[in-house]
Each structure stands twice: as C-alpha cells, then as structure tokens.
C-alpha cells in the first residue's frame, strides 16, 4: 500500500504540509495517492541517520553487502506485479518497457553483488621493495550519497537504480530524492530496500527516500555537510545548478551529473549507398523509441550531400510518418518538448522531412525530422540544441571539410555512431572519426545509440555538458568508482590492515604487488 510518506531510514514520516499527486499521462488524470514533501527537519534526520549508519555499514564485508543487494532484488521480485502496475500508471510506459526495465534493475543489483563477491574492485596495490616504506593502497567509500531519481527511468535510474546500487556496493549509505513523476513507484521500491536491509542486518539509515515536487529538498540534501557525493540524471539546467551548489559548499563535494546529449550519428557514404533503406528504418525506430525520451536518442545525423543521402532522408521520413506517436512521461515534459521543438523550428534555413499531422491523444509526442545544410548548422547553434523527444536533425554537409568543421563544433556527448559499409572508407575518414571519438563517452559502429548494456566495459558518460565529470560512468560496474576514494596505509601492522591488503590475501583477490598483478599471497 502506498502511504505517500517519506522513509527516514526504517521510519515512515510525513510531517510536512506540502502535498502533491502523480499523474497518469496515458489516461490524462491524476493518480489517487497523496504524497507529502519532506521538511528540512526530515532531510536532516535522514542525513544524520545515514552518517551514523555509515560508521557501521562501511565495516560490512563485501559478502555481506552483496547479500544486501541480492535481497533487494528478491524483495522487488516478490512485489513485481504491483511495482510494474504503478510504474505504468505514473509513466505511461508500456508493459514491455516495464518488464525490461524491471529486469535490468534487478539484474544490475545482482551484477554489483557478483562484483563484490569477487572483490578485486577495491584496486588493492602493495608496494614494499626492500629498503623502502611498506605502502598499501585501496579504495574506501566516501560516506552518505544523495541520489536524484530520473524522470525517464522509474526503475533503472531511480530509487533502486544504478546510482543507488553502485553506492550501496561501495559501502556508502544512500538518500534518494524520489522523482515527483513516479513517487508511488519510488515508495514501493523503497519499501523493498528497507525490508532487505532489515533481513540482512544492515543499519537503520543505510537507505532513505524523500518526496519532493520542487527543488528545495534536493538543495537541502546537497548543502548538508554530511552528504559526501551526489548522483544525478536529468536536465542540463538542474545538473549544473546542483554542481554549482556542491562546489560552493565550505567542503565542496563531487556531483556526478548526466545532463543530456544529441548523440551524433556519422553516416558515411558507403553505408547509405549500400543499406540506406535499412538504416532509415532502424533510425526511425530509434528516434521514436520511448517517444524519444532516452538520453541516447539520435538527435543529430550527419552526412555528405549525395543522392544516397537524399534517398535515406526520404525513406527516414516515410518510415516516421508510418509510426503512431506514443505518450510522453508527463504533460510538463510534453509541453517542454513542443516548446524546444518550436524554438528550433523558429529558425530559418531548414527543410521539413517528416511531421506527424494526425490527431493524437493528450500528452502524446508527434515525431519530426528536419534537414539543414552544414553551413547553416555551423552558423546557427539553435540547431545544436537537444530536443527531449522524438525529434532529429539531419545535417547535409557539402564535403568532408565541412563535415569535419561540424564535428569540431559539437559539445560533449554520451554517444557517437559511425555507419559504414566499406573498410577502406574508414581510413579515408579516420581523422573525422577520431574527432567524433574525442567528443563522446561511447563510440558505436553500425548500430543505433539507444540501448545501454549493463556490463563492466560500459561507459555511460562523456565530456561536458553530457556529464559533469567525463572520467566516470553511471552505468556498468565501474560506476562504483564514483563513490570511493583511495587511501594508502604506510608501515601499518598486519593485524590492523583491511582484509584486501593483508599479506596472506584472505579474500583471494587480484592485487598489484610491486607492479605485478597476482592473486598470490605476499
């Protein structure tokens, strides 16, 4: 049952007088539950509990933390149908999406548990050559982490999503600011996390969930002196505001913000000549997937003027015209989509390729694609802006030189894609491809950017403004590195060393001993 209250550790609390409801965008009506926004006192209580819990939780073994993560996955699965039902009601997303995202959420919890059981993630290094100090280094957790739920992934990037899973894996307690679009989903997920914490003997305060429809609760969290790091997925405006807030604290803290991307696609001539119709169909599907509300939506397609490019654009338009629009996450997001689109369409010098003119239900997003010349794209940065929804710009460059200039002007991106059919062409465009690689966190060959695999090798990040720190990823096992810092132990007694640094290597993990990687004891 949804109470509408906040989880302050294990305690349900609703002391505030600011309330709100979530909204079913598909049915175009409010949902039934009433949620109470957290007060400053409740924020303080949650952070104080987290700080106290940190002293206990950081001492838990990796095996114990792994058990906690696995228990969360099990509790989520025990209430799967109710969770998916409220997920769909609060997001308008279809059953297939709810099933897939739910599986991804439990899967990444178990993936971090597996990582913990293996143990090498702490990056143990031992340096003790004869006649020198004995220095041993490993990663340790920062402390309480504030996590902001994302609007477009109520499961996988929110309450028990990648930020929470990776922070808990590191040994850091988590306080989630639940996203107001899916506060009911957030509460039910929080209930599962609290049950798992109790079952596995985790300290009260290892997890809290706070409701908020405005920005104040998030600001209070980031400014609290006992919060040590922040995870955020959302808009550029909100991400940069949080980053500045964290930097202006007496003790600045890191904010790992994923803030958006237009995900340029480099369509080389051979790809369009050999498989133009195929790529047109693939990209029509990618542009409209999830009504364009993925951070990896292909918002920019780049090519060189040719009959093949013209044919690709025509087929792309036909495919898009044949696809029925789908619902967006909320009336506010749909309104923002129309406003952002209108801002681009107010510019001069573009050609409309495809526009869905049919009737649509409230909160549905009409897909659209336009073309613009390379020269106009270079002269007008309004064509560079992200439009969060099913919208894309095809840039027709007159030659390779102009294509290179366009790529050099782009800001940091989450992904970049290269479409190609002839190997020799890759060498001809090597410098241009290298420029694209310098701009992105993930470079894709002959595919679409939508879809992010959860694995150890994944980088879901990129140069600013795609993220606030290009060194880290918010998806995949190395996401844990955002919540830890290295500590060196010099000439420390064996009895007091962490297990990962003891001579006998009781954990059996891979370590760097005097510049050699080994699982051997010292």
Which of 170, 232, 174, 128 has the alpha carbon at shortest distance from 516? Answer: 128
Which of 372, 374, 373, 370 has the alpha carbon at shortest distance from 352? Answer: 370
Which letter, b or e, does each residue of 147-176 get, where b requires 16 or more Cβ atoms within 10 Å of its Cβ?
bbbbbbbbbbbbbbbbbbbbbbbbbbbbbb
44, with CB counted inside 10 A (0-12, 13-18, 19+), is middle
The Cα 153–Cα 87 span in angstroms is 10
DSSP 110-150: HHHHHHHHH-GGG--EEE--TTS--EEEEEEE-S-EEEEPP
The Cα 304–Cα 404 span in angstroms is 11
The Cα 300–Cα 440 span in angstroms is 14
Written as six digits, the tokens of 423 are 């190997």
The pair phi, psi for residue 338, each rounded to 5°, is: -65, -40
Eight-state DSSP code of residue 38: P
Strands 255-258 and 300-304 come out as: unpaired
Eight-state DSSP code of residue 325: P
SS (H, E, C) 269-315: HHHHHHHHHHHHHHHHHHHHHHHHCCCCCCCEEEEECCHHHHHHHHH
Q: What angle do CA 448, 468, 464 make, to 5 degrees?
A: 60
Q: Which residue has the tokens 């100090």?
A: 133
Cα Rg of the chain (Å, integer)? 24
Which of 294, 31, 22 has the alpha carbon at shortest distance from 152? Answer: 294
CB atoms within 10 A of CB 415: 28
Residues that are catalytic: 258, 295
For residue 480, give the 3-state DSSP assignment.
Answer: helix
The Cα 341–Cα 62 span in angstroms is 48
């Amino acid at each position: 049952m949804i109470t509408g209250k906040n989880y302050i550790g294990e305690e349900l609390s609703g002391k505030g007088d600011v309330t709100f409801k979530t909204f079913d965008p598909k049915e175009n009506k409010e949902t039934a539950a009433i949620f109470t926004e957290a007060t400053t006192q409740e924020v303080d209580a949650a952070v104080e509990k987290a700080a106290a819990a940190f002293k206990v939780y950081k001492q838990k073994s990796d095996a114990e933390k792994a058990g906690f993560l696995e228990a969360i996955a099990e509790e989520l699965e025990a209430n799967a149908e109710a969770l998916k039902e409220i997920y769909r009601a609060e997001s308008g997303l279809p059953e297939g999406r709810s099933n897939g995202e739910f599986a991804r959420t439990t899967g990444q919890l178990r993936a971090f548990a597996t990582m913990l059981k293996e143990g090498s993630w702490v990056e143990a290094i031992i340096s003790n050559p004869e006649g020198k100090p004995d220095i041993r280094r490993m990663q340790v957790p920062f402390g309480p982490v504030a996590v902001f739920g994302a609007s477009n992934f109520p499961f996988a990037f929110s309450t028990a999503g990648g930020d929470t899973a990776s922070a808990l894996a590191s040994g850091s307690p988590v306080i989630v600011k639940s996203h107001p679009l899916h506060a009911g989903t957030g509460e039910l997920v929080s209930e599962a996390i609290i049950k798992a914490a109790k079952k596995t003997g985790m300290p009260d305060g290892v997890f809290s969930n706070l409701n908020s429809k405005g920005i104040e609760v998030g600001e209070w969290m980031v400014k609290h002196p006992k919060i040590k790091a922040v995870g955020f997925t959302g808009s550029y405006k909100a991400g940069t505001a949080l980053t500045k807030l964290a930097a202006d604290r007496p003790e600045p803290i890191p904010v790992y913000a994923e803030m958006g991307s237009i995900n340029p696609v480099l369509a080389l001539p051979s790809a369009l000549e050999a498989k133009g119709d195929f790529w047109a169909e693939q990209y029509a599907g990618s542009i409209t997937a999830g009504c364009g509300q993925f951070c990896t939506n292909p918002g920019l397609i780049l090519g060189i003027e040719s009959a093949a490019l013209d044919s690709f654009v025509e087929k792309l338009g036909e495919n898009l015209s044949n696809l029925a629009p789908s619902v967006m996450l909320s009336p506010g997001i749909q309104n923002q989509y129309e406003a952002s689109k209108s801002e681009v369409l107010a510019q001069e010098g573009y050609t409309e390729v495809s526009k869905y003119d049919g009737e649509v239900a409230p909160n549905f997003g009409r897909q659209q694609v336009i073309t613009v010349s390379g020269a106009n794209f270079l002269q007008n940065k309004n064509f560079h802006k992200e439009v969060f929804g099913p919208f894309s710009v095809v840039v027709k460059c007159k030659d390779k030189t102009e294509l290179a200039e366009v790529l050099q002007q782009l800001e940091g991106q989450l992904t970049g894609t290269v479409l190609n059919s002839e190997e020799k062409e890759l060498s001809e465009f090597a410098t241009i491809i290298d420029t694209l690689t310098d701009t992105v966190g993930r470079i894709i060959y002959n595919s679409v950017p939508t879809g992010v695999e959860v694995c150890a090798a994944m980088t879901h990040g990129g140069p600013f403004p795609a993220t606030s720190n290009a060194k880290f990823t918010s998806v995949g096992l190395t996401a844990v590195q955002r919540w830890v810092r290295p500590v060196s132990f010099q000439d420390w007694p064996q009895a007091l060393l962490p297990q990962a640094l003891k001579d006998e290597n009781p954990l059996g993990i891979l370590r760097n001993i005097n510049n050699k990687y080994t699982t051997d004891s010292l």
